[in-house]
Structure formats: C-alpha cells, structure tokens
Amino acid sequence: MATEMEEQLVSTLTAQAGPMPAQEVVRLAHQRFGRKIALSSSFGAEDMVLIDMLMKVDSKARIVTLDTGRLPQETYNVMDATREKYGAAVEVYFPQAEAIQLMVAERGLNLFYHSVENRKLCCGVRKMEPLRRALAGLDAWMTGLRREQSVTRTDVHKIEWDSSNQLVKVNPLADWTSGDVWKYIREHNVPYNALHDRGYPSIGCGPCTRAVQPGEHERAGRWWWEHPETKECGLHVVASTAPSTGGGE
C-alpha cells in the first residue's frame, strides 16, 4: 500500500507526464528523483532508447542490470558498447552463488523447461533476488515497458506505484509502438543487440529466448513453451498500480 504522500506524488507525476513525450518524462523523473532513480536495463531495444535519452540528461545517471549467468554473448557485447559510447557506469547485479548451486543440484541446469514452477524458481533466483538488491535504497525505478508488448502488459502506465517494491515506477515508453522504438534507434544512431537483426524482437536469457516467425507476436519467443499469460519473469507482474487520475505506459 502506498502512503497518502506516495499516492499524491504518483498523481502529481502522472498529471505532469501524461502529455509529455518520452524524452521529457525521462527528464522529469531524473529532476524529481536524481540518483534515487535507476534505469533497470536488459539492453533490449527499448532500454537502449532510454539509455540514450537518460545519458543526454545526465551521463552519471544510474543504470542497473541483472546478469543471470545465462545471457547471450550478444547482450554482453551491447552492454560493453553502451559503456564505450556513453561512458555509462553500468551497475551489474549477479545472483547469489549458493542459491544457484542449490537449485541446480536439486533440479538441474535446464530446470525451466520442465514446469512453470521450475521456471519461476529459476527467474526468482537469477532475477528477482538480484533485482531486490539493485533497487534497495531507491525511491523510483525506470523501465522500458510498453503496453503493446504482450497481453500481460496492456495496463502499463507512464507513472505507477509499484507495490511489490514500494517504489514509483516510471515507464516513459508506455505508449510507444515497436516502430517508434526502431525509428528512434536509427535516427539517433543508438547501439543495439545484434540478435534483433536475427529475428529476436525481445531478448532475455539464452535458453529461454528464440527467434520469432513472421506474424508471431513480439514476445512469442520468450518462454515459448508456456501459455502467453504465464510469460513474465516476475520483474513486472501485477503488483504495479496506476493512480485514479489516469496516465500513460
């Protein structure tokens, strides 16, 4: 539950951000929270747009990422390209080794293919726990979520209260289309993950992501063996709420 003061803050920011273009939402969030907001990036196309926007506001703004230990090499490549182009100090959070060892000893390295329960356990150990450490001490976090991405994201707003993490959540690209993302990347010469050119619109861990076929939904390649409504890793599930005054992503 948000306090009255937090609800008021979210309502105020929602009213301000509503008519703003994404770049201005990024600026607004940075002005309001400074180093108490971090962009959570997996270095997908949307995140690269936000990195470009954020670095133009403050080259020392905080960017956090989770290295699950199962990422494709192409993701590490674009991570390094980001450091080189922007001089960004990317903060990388790793899972706890003992938790990984225990999980693998009990259920195997490829446990995620065997059940939704196993997959959520793996995402919990490799993503959720490190994310909690990454967000500790912050007042807000920023993500590249877009409403258009999947059936699990149709309620995303530009400004939300994230009750799971007890933080304001800022999603400047909430109302962007995939076409908007790629137009920005090309116009601003933003580096991007090479897998996007090989049929991967959405990129996560290597064993849990495949290329999509023409006509398939853009997140069809994530956990492709599961039903569409289970396909979130837990980082962005239902815990977020928007204020009654309305808003964007």
Q: Among residues 163, 164, 137, 165, which one has the least CA distance to residue 62? A: 137
Residue 89, token pair as written in the block: 């100090």
| 122 touching ligand SF4, by CB under 6 A | yes
Residues 178-207 that bind ligand SF4 (CB under 6 A): 204-205, 207
With residue 160 as reference, give the H or E element that holds it. Answer: strand 159-162
| 70 touching ligand SF4, by CB under 6 A | yes
| 38 touching ligand SF4, by CB under 6 A | no
| 159 touching ligand SF4, by CB under 6 A | no
Residue 199 Cβ vs ligand SF4, minimum distance, rounded to whole Å: 18
Residue burial 139-173, b: 16+ Cβ < 10 Å; e: rest:
bbbbbbbbbbbbebbeebbbbbbbebbebbbbbbb
- How far apart CA 227 and CA 82 sit, in angstroms, is 34
Mapped onto helix, strand or coil, the DSSP state of residue 246 is coil
| 53 touching ligand SF4, by CB under 6 A | no
Among 119, 158, 169, 236, binds ligand SF4 (CB under 6 A): 119
Active site residue 123: no
| 51 touching ligand SF4, by CB under 6 A | no
Give whole-number Cα distances, 94 to 71, 178, 234, in Å. Answer: 12, 29, 17
- How far apart CA 239 and CA 29 sit, in angstroms, is 20
Q: Which residue among the candidates 122, 123, 208, 233 is catalytic per the annotation?
A: 233
Residue 96 Cβ vs ligand SF4, minimum distance, rounded to whole Å: 13
Residue 131 Cβ vs ligand SF4, minimum distance, rounded to whole Å: 11
59/230 with CB nearer ligand SF4: 230
Residue 137, token pair as written in the block: 């001490």
16/152 with CB nearer ligand SF4: 152
Catalytic residue set? 233
Residues in touch with ligand SF4 (CB under 6 A): 68, 70, 112, 119, 122-123, 126-127, 204-205, 207-208, 233
